[in-house]
Structure 1
Amino acid sequence: MDSAASEKSIIALDSWLQTPAGAYVRAWEQAQLDALTADIFGYNAVQIGLPQIDALAANRMPRKWLADIRPRARLDNVTELRQVAVTFDYAELPFASQSLDLVVLPHVLEFAAEPHQVLREVERVLIPEGQVIICGFNPASLWGLRQVTGRLTGSHFLPPAGEFISMPRMRDWLKLLNLGATTSHFGCYAPACRTEKWLQRYAFMDRAGARWWPYLGAVYMVQAIKRVKGMRLIGPPWTKKRVAAPVAIPATNKRRESQDGQG
């Protein structure tokens, strides 16, 4: 997928996110991101892509930016997209190395022309112990199955150009870059329905799915921390155990002890 095709895919995703199914996904992801980012501390945080979600709304870092591949316009008379602060190619992040505490990638890798390069750039700009949160569509789900059949029939449910990445595969990519996955979440267990009426009818599946088939949600979220080999936290210096100094015996006492022994 070249950069032009990648941009077309992102535009297609923008339109899909305005559908009832897209609103269903956005609501779940916003709730999860609010919970995950609320207790991540630092100074600089960046959300890359998907301005329909405010991934950093609950985070308290002093400097937060929304970055994207291009400026976004209002999609309809209701949706007001947030202002994009920085525009760039996903494969070349315009940030200094080890300058960011948190990067959020909502549905960026599956529609990027070079997903591995995007992850390498994220690893570069993160400080040691910095964190990345990735959102993606789960191919091992009812929606993933619907996407496969859609490619055969020509009736697509999700944007057709995206390359959906499984959770195990994503964890392998992260591990190769010393980004250790810490937590993962799955959600949106309803079938691939196009109307809000049918999505509401299947709302019970969100509760059942989280309990009985937790890894088959339509979307997932994975959180990882940048690990730096050979780096360790420095604690207080170890103190040597003090050895009690021998008590000197006065010479007079020594003389008296020898006299007592002779007597």
Structure 2
Amino acid sequence: MDHRLPEKAIIALGPWLETPVGSYVRAWQQESLDMLTADIFGFNAMQVGLPQINALQANRMPNKWLTDTHLPKDGDGNDSSRIVVVHDFAELPFASQSLDLVVLPHVLEFAEEPHQVLREVERVLIPEGQVVICGFNPASLWGLRQVTGRLTGKHFLPQNGEFISLPRLKDWLKLLNMEVNRGHFGCYAPPCMTEKWLTRFDFMEEAGERWWPYLGAVYIVQAIKRVRGMRLIGPAWTKKPAHARQGVPVANRIQKHK
């Protein structure tokens, strides 16, 4: 079965992030991802797709990679020497249980088989490894605008995205023995296209977090891979030195040739 991401959908999301509303989303996500990933420790971290967001910018792991289906353009903000190009996000070139952290910024929404991508992420994560997922919230004003846009032909968000509700995502994670640790909602402004109107609705960020916290246009979920019957003693990253991890040589060989 072909699990490739629709090329047009991926191409559409990048330019959308350069629009005023896309920049608004990107700024909130970058700040939130920096806060979430700064204190996740280990040796090996990977971002899957969307090089316009540097999801591992604040993380301090020694080995960090961006996995994408093509080389990013100049100015995307990621180190090109750390790029691992793949044909399919459902077939990652890392050994099982070799990564401490995986970040998925809006990848699942544009995958033809998102649960397959999530299964692959579970495979490459070590026990107690963590995954961070960004997504558009269909239960929001933006989600409602997107539904009406499909009827009228005037789309507010990239039209090929299949936005996943948070309860549905939690069910998928639970089936893979991934325990949701933290979650954040943001971007409470109405679906405005111009910077002028987005600025006018700045006050809604604080009001939204207080009065309607689950109606933010974007969410970020952090989950931990649990292994039944396993008991860790001490920090997980003291179990093996970095050079002993399986799977890392694949990415290292790619890095050295750059």
Fold equivalence (TM over 0.5): yes
Which segment drifts farther, 80-89 or 111-120?
Answer: 80-89
Counterpart of 1:157?
156
The Cα of 1:233 is off from its aligned counterpart by: 2.8
In 2, Cα distance between equivalents of 1:231 and 1:4: 34
In 2, Cα distance between equivalents of 1:122 and 1:223: 13
Distance 1:197 1:101, change over 3 A: same
Which aligned pairs between 1:13-162 and structure 2 lie closer than 5 A? 13-74=13-74, 79-82=75-78, 83=80, 85-88=83-86, 89-162=88-161
Q: Structure 2-normalised TM-score?
A: 0.86
The Cα of 1:113 is off from its aligned counterpart by: 1.6
Q: Deviations over 1:102-129 (max 9, x none)?
A: 0000000000121011000000000000
The Cα of 1:230 is off from its aligned counterpart by: 1.1
Q: CA RMSD in A?
A: 1.6
The Cα of 1:86 is off from its aligned counterpart by: 0.5
The Cα of 1:80 is off from its aligned counterpart by: 4.1
AA at the equivalent of 1:86: V
The Cα of 1:81 is off from its aligned counterpart by: 4.3
Counterpart of 1:9?
9
Conserved 8 A contact 1:133-1:222: yes
The Cα of 1:172 is off from its aligned counterpart by: 0.4
Runs of 4+ in 1 over 2 A off after TM superposition: 2-5, 79-84
Q: How many residues align?
A: 231
Q: Structure 1-normalised TM-score?
A: 0.85
Conserved 8 A contact 2:3-2:90: no
Counterpart of 1:227?
226
Question: For structure 2, which runs of at least 5 residues remain unmatched after alignment?
Answer: 235-258
The Cα of 1:66 is off from its aligned counterpart by: 1.0
Q: The residue matched to 1:224 in structure 2 has which SS?
A: strand
Counterpart of 1:186?
185
Question: For structure 1, which runs of at least 5 residues remain unmatched after alignment?
Answer: 236-263
Larger RCO: 1 or 2 (CA < 8 Å, sep 6+): 2
Distance 1:109 1:141, change over 3 A: same
| Identity score, percent | 73
Conserved 8 A contact 1:72-1:81: no
In 2, Cα distance between equivalents of 1:62 and 1:166: 34
In 1, Cα distance between equivalents of 2:170 and 2:148: 26
Q: The residue matched to 1:102 in structure 2 has which SS?
A: strand
In 1, Cα distance between equivalents of 2:4 and 2:119: 21
